[in-house]
Amino acid sequence: MDASRYLRTSELARAAGIHPNTVRLYEEWGLLPPVERNPFNNYRRYTHRHLDQLLLVRSALQFTLLGGAIRASAYEIIEEGVQGNHGGALELAYKLLAQILSEQTQAEAAVNFLERWAAGTPTEPPRQPLRIGDTARLLEVSIDQLHNWERNGLIQTPRDPHNGYRQYGPDEIGRLRVIRMLLRARYSTMSILRMFTKLDAGEKQDLRTSLDTPESDEDVLYVTDHWLTTLAELEQAARALVKQIETLLAQKN
State the Cα–Cα distance between residues 167 and 156, nearest whole angstrom: 10
pLDDT for residue 3 is more than 70: no
Segment 4-18 shows an average pLDDT of 91
State the Cα–Cα distance between residues 165 and 143, nearest whole angstrom: 13
Going by the DSSP 8-state scheme, the letter that residue 45 receives in this structure is E
Query: What is the residue-averaged pLDDT of the chain?
Result: 94
The larger pLDDT score, comparing residue 216 to residue 128, is at 128
Domain range list for the chain: 3-102+232-252, 105-229
Same CATH topology for 3-102+232-252 and 105-229: the answer is yes
Name, in order, each residue with C-beta under 8 angstroms of 35's C-beta and a sequence gap of 6 or more.
27, 44, 45, 46, 50
For domain 105-229, is the CATH number 3.90.1150.10?
no
State the Cα–Cα distance between residues 117 and 171, nearest whole angstrom: 10
Kindly report which listed range (27-31, 121-125, 229-233) carries the lowest average pLDDT score: 121-125
The whole model's pTM is what?
A: 0.91
Residue 74 and residue 63 in contact, taking contact as beta carbons nearer than 8 Å:
yes
Give the model confidence (pLDDT) of 153-183 as tens digits.
999 999 988 898 999 999 999 999 999 999 9
Give the model confidence (pLDDT) of 84-98 as tens digits.
999 999 999 999 999
State the Cα–Cα distance between residues 31 and 184, nearest whole angstrom: 32
How is domain 3-102+232-252 classified at the CATH fold level?
A: Multidrug-efflux Transporter Regulator; Chain: A; Domain 2 (1.10.1660)
pLDDT for residue 232 is more than 60: yes
Segment 52-57 shows an average pLDDT of 98
> In the chain, what's the furthest Cα-to-Cα distance?
88
State the Cα–Cα distance between residues 153 and 111, nearest whole angstrom: 19
Give the model confidence (pLDDT) of 177-220 as tens digits.
999 999 999 999 999 999 999 999 999 889 999 999 998 888 88
Per-position DSSP letters for 203-233, written without gaps between them = --S-HHHHHH---TT----SGGGGHHHHHHH
pLDDT grade for 4, boundaries at 50, 70 and 90: low
Name, in order, each residue with C-beta under 8 angstroms of 131's C-beta and a sequence gap of 6 or more.
165, 166, 167, 168
Give the model confidence (pLDDT) of 141-153 as tens digits.
999 999 999 999 9
Residue 171 and residue 178 in contact, taking contact as beta carbons nearer than 8 Å:
no
